[in-house]
Chain A
Amino acid sequence: MMRLAAALLLLVPFSLCAKEWTVDPASTLSFSGTYQGEKFTGHFGRFTAAITFDPASLAAAKFDVSVDVTSITTGNADYDEQLKAPEFFDFGKFRQSRFVTTAFREGDNGLVADGTLTIRDKSRPTQLKVTFTPAGDGATLDVETTLKRLDFDVGTGDWADTSAIGNDVPVTAHLVLKPKG
Chain B
Amino acid sequence: MALKSDSRQWGLGAQLLHWVMALLIIGAGIVGWYMTDLPNSPQKMKIYAMHKSVGLTVLALVLLRLVWRWRDNRPADVPMPAWQARAAHAVHVLLYGLMLVMPLSGWLYNSASGYPLRWFGMVNLPSLTGGQDAALKSLAHEVHEWGFYLLAALLLAHAGAALKHHFIDRDETLARMLPFLRRRTAPAVESAPAATPIPSAASPDQSPESRP
Q: A76-B132, A163-B121 are in contact. Are A38 and B42 (CB under 8 A)?
A: no
**In the complex, residue of chain B having the shortest beta-carbon distance to the beta carbon of A161:** B42
Verify if B57 is at the interface (C-beta below 8 Å from A).
no
Q: A36-B49, A164-B42 are in contact. Are A76 and B116 (CB under 8 A)?
A: no
A93 to B113, CA, bound (A): 29
Contact B118 A37, beta carbon cutoff 8 Å: yes
Contact A76 B124, beta carbon cutoff 8 Å: no
Please tell me the size bucket of the interface on A: 10 to 19
Cross-chain pair count, CB within 8 angstroms: 34
Contact B41 A75, beta carbon cutoff 8 Å: no
Q: B49 contacts which chain A residues (CB < 8 A)? A: 36
Interface of B is mostly: loop
The count of residues in chain B whose C-beta lies closer than 8 Å to any C-beta of chain A is 16
Minimum distance in angstroms from A34 CB to a CB of chain B: 9
Residue contacts A-B, CB under 8 angstroms, 30 given: A35-B116, A36-B49, A36-B115, A36-B116, A36-B117, A36-B118, A36-B124, A37-B116, A37-B118, A37-B124, A38-B116, A38-B118, A38-B124, A75-B132, A76-B113, A76-B114, A76-B132, A78-B115, A81-B40, A82-B40, A85-B40, A158-B41, A158-B42, A158-B43, A159-B42, A161-B42, A163-B121, A164-B42, A164-B45, A164-B46
